[in-house]
Amino acid sequence: MIKFIIIAILISLISCKPKWTQLQNYTFEQYVRDFQKEYKADSEEYITRKKIFEQNLADIVAFNKEDHSYKKGVKNNTDESYFEKKEQFSIFKSSLDFQVMDPSTENSNYIYKAKGLTNLPDSVDWRDKGVVSPVKDQGDCLSCWAFTAASVLESHAAIAAGSGNLKTLSTQQLVSCVPNPKQCGGQGGCFGAVADLAFEYISKYGITSEFKYGYKSYFNDTYECKFDPLKQSPEVFNQGFAKITPNDQQALLEAVATIGPIAISIDSTGWDSYEEGVFDGCDYSENINIDHAVVLVGYGTDPKYGDYWLVRNSYGTEFGEDGYIRIKRESEPQCGIDSTPTNGFACGGDETPIKVCGMCGILSDSSYPLKVRVIV
């Protein structure tokens, strides 16, 4: 038994990736081993990646020595240039153009407006209620919109049916089957779409489980839709979705506190190196490029760095704080301009700049499914 314990410890030490506190003398050679990179020694690629890595590492170490509310770390893409990382992390989510209807009608969509609630809890974390599934990894596919929609629907289905009924729903069904004729947030599938389109699709066809239709688009292949409702029976339906009043912090706070996890849009600039803490790295004086879909699962207050939003990402558990990021929640939200909405916040080439508020534009575009019902 002791022999096996020693072996397990040695394996864990060999495969352990460094924390931000261990980067002062960290080398590219260690990085290649820790992250299992397959570069041929002394090749042109090796030399190029080493140069990029060392510059990025120097920037990370220098940043962590300063007084910031969050820390940066070494990630799988620390040997990539800024433009390579921006392309990887620019994953689309945008507003769907729809007609606001009477919320009492079937398949209706409506705007959630702040009710002025004054008795909201000081902190909310829907994970504590057993209605949030484990963090997933979208891989190279630009499918954050599908992961966001599936995760939010999983939570709302569990809330509707009871926390003991938490399901893992099929992201692949959404990636392969949701149409995107207006090219909202991209061209569809692994080339971008929007969570709202997924909610509309599920209202008509339902969504099956991950077990019945597993995710295989990790390496950026959308694949043809293979959903067969007779063989892969739908397990969850909803009836339309609600939009939350754009740029209204009180409305978003009330919604996540009283309704459940919320699909949100955000500027993910700077997230690639985030490791822990309360992120405040978006600059309002620059373009706020809304380019990513994530799930708001709560909010709270850090004793040192103040109020934050609790956000679930879809980059796996190695990202940030076990797959989550805490984003600064301002007492008086600042606003900026997204002057490049076609990068992910518009349909069909709409280039009209839009006002976005909150750190990284977190208040700009939010939604959740209506009348969720569990079939199985």
Q: Please tell me the distance from the alpha carbon of residue 193 to that of residue 240, in angstroms, as a whole number.
A: 17
Residues 79, 31: contact at Cβ < 8 Å? yes
The pairing of strands 241-244 and 110-112 is parallel
Instruction: Name the residues annotated as catalytic.
Output: 144, 292, 313
